[in-house]
Chains A and B, each alone.
Chain A
Amino acid sequence: MSEPALRVRGVHKSYDAPVLTGLDLDVPAGSLVALLGPSGCGKTTLLRIVAGFERSEAGSVEVGGRLVEGPGQVLPPERRRVGVVPQEGALFPHLSVHDNVAFGLPRQERKGLRPEEVLELVGLAGLGSRMPHELSGGQQQRVAVARALAPRPSLVLLDEPFSALDAGLRAAVRAEVRASLRAAGASAVLVTHDQQEALSVADVVAVVRDGRVVQAADPWSVYAAPADLGVATFVGETIVLGGEAAGGTVSSPLGAHRTDSALRGQVAVVIRPEQLELAPADLPCVPAVVSHREFYGHDALLRLALPGGATATARTAGHPLPEVGAHVEVGVRGPVVVFPA
Chain B
Amino acid sequence: MTELLIAPPASPGPPREGDALPGRRAVRAARRSRPPLLLVIPGLVTAAVALLPLVYLGVRSFEDGTGVVADVLLRERTARLLLRSLLLAGAVTTACLAIGVALAWLTVRSDLPGRRFWAVLAALPLAIPTYVAGFAWISLLPDLAGFFGAFVVLTACSYPYVLLPVAAALRRMDPAGEEVARSLGLSPWQAFRRATLPQLRPALAAGGLLVALYTLSDFGAVSIMRFDAFTRVIYTSYRSSFDRTPAAVLGLLLVAVTLVLVWLEARSRGRASYSRVGQGGARQGAVSRLGRRRLPALLLPATVAGLSLGLPAAALLYWTAVGVRGGLPGSDLGGAAATSLAFAALGALVTTLLAIPVGVLAARRAGRLPRLLERASWAGHALPGIVVAFSLVFLSVRYAFPLYQRTPVLVLAYAVLFLPLAIGAVHASAAQSPPGLEEVARSTGAGPTAVLRRVTLPLAAPGIGAGAVLVFLTCMKELPATLLLQPLGSGTLATKLWTETGVAAYSAAAPYAALLVLLSALPTYLLGMRTGAFDGRGRR
Please give the residue numbers on chain A whose beta carbons come within 8 Å of chain B beta carbons, in ascending order: 15-16, 19, 38-41, 43-45, 48, 51-55, 76-84, 86-88, 90, 92-94, 103-104, 137, 144, 147-148, 150-151, 157, 159-160, 163-164, 192-194
Residues of A contacting B458 in the complex (Cβ-Cβ under 8 angstroms):
94
Contact B444 A148 (CB under 8 A): yes
- Choose among B20, B23, B437 the residue that contacts A160 (Cβ–Cβ < 8 A): B20
**B63 in contact (CB, < 8 A):** no
Contact B30 A54 (CB under 8 A): yes
Interface core residue of B26, B446, B448 (most chain A CB under 10 Å): B26
Contact B443 A148 (CB under 8 A): yes
Contact B443 A40 (CB under 8 A): no
Nearest residue, chain A, Cβ from B18: A193
Known A-B contacts A78-B442, A83-B444, A148-B443; A90 and B33 likewise in contact (beta carbons under 8 Å)? no
Separation in Å of the A136 CB from the closest CB of chain B?
12
Separation in Å of the A337 CB from the closest CB of chain B?
25
Known A-B contacts A84-B443, A148-B443, A160-B18; A90 and B29 likewise in contact (beta carbons under 8 Å)? no
Contact B19 A39 (CB under 8 A): yes
Nearest residue, chain A, Cβ from B461: A94
**B459 in contact (CB, < 8 A):** yes
Interface residues of B in 428-461 (CB under 8 A from A): 433-434, 436-437, 439-448, 450, 454-455, 458-459
Between A and B, 26 residue pairs with Cβ closer than 8 Å are: A15-B28, A44-B22, A44-B26, A53-B439, A55-B33, A76-B447, A76-B448, A77-B439, A78-B442, A81-B445, A83-B443, A83-B444, A92-B455, A94-B459, A103-B441, A103-B444, A104-B444, A150-B444, A151-B444, A159-B20, A159-B22, A163-B16, A163-B20, A192-B18, A193-B18, A193-B20
Residues of A contacting B443 in the complex (Cβ-Cβ under 8 angstroms):
51-52, 77-78, 80, 82-84, 104, 148, 157
Known A-B contacts A54-B29, A94-B459, A103-B446; A48 and B22 likewise in contact (beta carbons under 8 Å)? yes
Residues of B contacting A103 in the complex (Cβ-Cβ under 8 angstroms):
441, 444, 446, 454
Interface core residue of A84, A90, A164 (most chain B CB under 10 Å): A90
Nearest residue, chain A, Cβ from B280: A133
Nearest residue, chain A, Cβ from B281: A133
Contact B445 A151 (CB under 8 A): yes
Interface residues of B in 294-335 (CB under 8 A from A): none
**B183 in contact (CB, < 8 A):** no
The bracket for how many chain B residues form the interface is 20 to 34
Residues of A contacting B33 in the complex (Cβ-Cβ under 8 angstroms):
54-55
Contact A44 B442 (CB under 8 A): no
Residue-wise interface mask of B (10-39) relative to A, using a CB-CB cutoff of 8 A (1 in contact, 0 not): 000000111110110110111001000000
Residues of A contacting B454 in the complex (Cβ-Cβ under 8 angstroms):
103
Nearest residue, chain B, Cβ from A77: B442
Contact B20 A87 (CB under 8 A): yes
Pairs of residues from A and B, 10 with the lowest C-beta to C-beta distance, nearest first: A104-B444, A193-B18, A77-B442, A15-B25, A84-B443, A39-B19, A39-B18, A104-B445, A90-B436, A160-B20
Contact B18 A104 (CB under 8 A): no
Given A151-B445, A163-B17, 10 extra CB contacts under 8 A: A38-B18, A48-B26, A78-B447, A83-B443, A84-B440, A86-B436, A86-B439, A157-B443, A163-B18, A193-B19
**B279 in contact (CB, < 8 A):** yes
Q: How far is the CA of A43 from the CA of B19 in the complex (A)?
A: 8
Interface core residue of B442, B445, B446 (most chain A CB under 10 Å): B445
Separation in Å of the B358 CB from the closest CB of chain A?
23
Residues of A contacting B446 in the complex (Cβ-Cβ under 8 angstroms):
78, 103-104
Contact B436 A93 (CB under 8 A): no
Nearest residue, chain B, Cβ from A79: B445
Nearest residue, chain A, Cβ from B447: A78
Nearest residue, chain A, Cβ from B433: A93
Interface core residue of B18, B25, B28, B437 (most chain A CB under 10 Å): B18
Contact A15 B26 (CB under 8 A): yes
Contact B30 A48 (CB under 8 A): yes
Nearest residue, chain B, Cβ from A193: B18
Residues of A contacting B450 in the complex (Cβ-Cβ under 8 angstroms):
78
Nearest residue, chain B, Cβ from A192: B18
Q: How far is the CA of A86 from the CA of B279 in the complex (A)?
A: 13
Contact B16 A84 (CB under 8 A): no
Q: How far is the CA of A84 from the CA of B444 in the complex (A)?
A: 8
Separation in Å of the B113 CB from the closest CB of chain A?
33
Separation in Å of the A84 CB from the closest CB of chain B?
4
Separation in Å of the B175 CB from the closest CB of chain A?
22
Known A-B contacts A90-B437, A103-B454; A40 and B445 likewise in contact (beta carbons under 8 Å)? no
Residues of B contacting A163 in the complex (Cβ-Cβ under 8 angstroms):
16-18, 20
Residues of B contacting A82 in the complex (Cβ-Cβ under 8 angstroms):
443
- Choose among A16, A19, A53, A147 the residue that contacts B444 (Cβ–Cβ < 8 A): A147
Separation in Å of the A44 CB from the closest CB of chain B?
5
Residues of A contacting B28 in the complex (Cβ-Cβ under 8 angstroms):
15
- Choose among B18, B23, B437, B448 the residue that contacts A92 (Cβ–Cβ < 8 A): B437
Nearest residue, chain A, Cβ from B16: A163
Q: How far is the CA of A48 from the CA of B459 in the complex (A)?
A: 23
Q: How far is the CA of A137 from the CA of B280 in the complex (A)?
A: 11
Residues of A contacting B440 in the complex (Cβ-Cβ under 8 angstroms):
84, 86, 90, 144, 147
Separation in Å of the A69 CB from the closest CB of chain B?
13
Q: How far is the CA of A58 from the CA of B445 in the complex (A)?
A: 25
Contact B23 A164 (CB under 8 A): no
Q: How far is the CA of A164 from the CA of B446 in the complex (A)?
A: 26
Contact B19 A52 (CB under 8 A): no
Nearest residue, chain A, Cβ from B443: A84
Q: How far is the CA of A48 from the CA of B22 in the complex (A)?
A: 8
Q: How far is the CA of A48 from the CA of B25 in the complex (A)?
A: 12
Q: How far is the CA of A53 from the CA of B23 in the complex (A)?
A: 13
Q: How far is the CA of A59 from the CA of B439 in the complex (A)?
A: 22
- Choose among A52, A54, A84, A160 the residue that contacts B26 (Cβ–Cβ < 8 A): A54
Separation in Å of the B263 CB from the closest CB of chain A?
27
Contact A53 B279 (CB under 8 A): no
Residues of B contacting A48 in the complex (Cβ-Cβ under 8 angstroms):
22, 26, 30
